[in-house]
Amino acid sequence: MSSRNWKTIILFGFLIWLIPFVGSFLIFPLRSSSRPLFESIMPVVLTSAVVLFTVRYLSKINREFVKEGIFIGIVWLVISLVIDLILFIPESPMQMTLSDYMMDIGITYLIILIIPVGSGYLMEKNSNS
């Protein structure tokens, strides 16, 4: 991949948002009956999706892994935040304040940035040795 494949980046970013969203609906009853379990499962689902798409994306390039990891991490993070903020703003059906959203969901989304950056660093380090 010599230049950025925007379709792939956007698609992967959307899927990184969609997979946990669908997962949360599948296990939604746990949110009431076993909130700690629900809160433990969701970051695992998000992490799994981010790892999957980070590996798929970075394995198609052959240089500048850290730069690409930072780039895709930021793009994917922004995609998830924008979609969520549309769904969770006070006028929406989910009705959360911005501070409640950040405490409940937003901080967890740092996973979306950390994994591609860390993976890019490791790939760059390994390609230089």
Domain spans of the chain, in order of start = 6-127
**Over 50: is that where the pLDDT of 99 sits?**
yes
pLDDT for 98:
78
Residue pair 65/124 in contact (Cβ under 8 Å)? The answer is: yes
pLDDT for 93:
60
**Over 70: is that where the pLDDT of 1 sits?**
no
The DSSP symbol for 60 reads T
* Long-range interactions of 38-46: CB distance < 8 A, separation 24+: 42/108, 43/108, 43/111, 45/19, 45/20, 46/16, 46/19, 46/20, 46/108, 46/109, 46/111, 46/112
In 3D, which of 74, 72, 21 has the Cα closest to residue 45? 21
Q: How many residues can be counted in the chain?
A: 129
Q: Give the mean model confidence (pLDDT) for residues 73-94.
A: 85
pLDDT for 106:
86
Q: Give the mean model confidence (pLDDT) for residues 27-49.
A: 94
> Which of the two residues, 93 and 23, has the higher pLDDT score?
23
**Over 90: is that where the pLDDT of 101 sits?**
no
Please give the model's pTM, rounded to 2 decimal places: 0.90
pLDDT for 92:
63
Helix (DSSP H) and strand (DSSP E) numbers for the chain: 6, 0
> Which of the two residues, 93 and 108, has the higher pLDDT score?
108
CA distances from 10 to 25, 26, 35, 59, 97 (A): 23, 24, 31, 17, 27
Under the banding of pLDDT at 50, 70 and 90, the label for residue 31 is confident
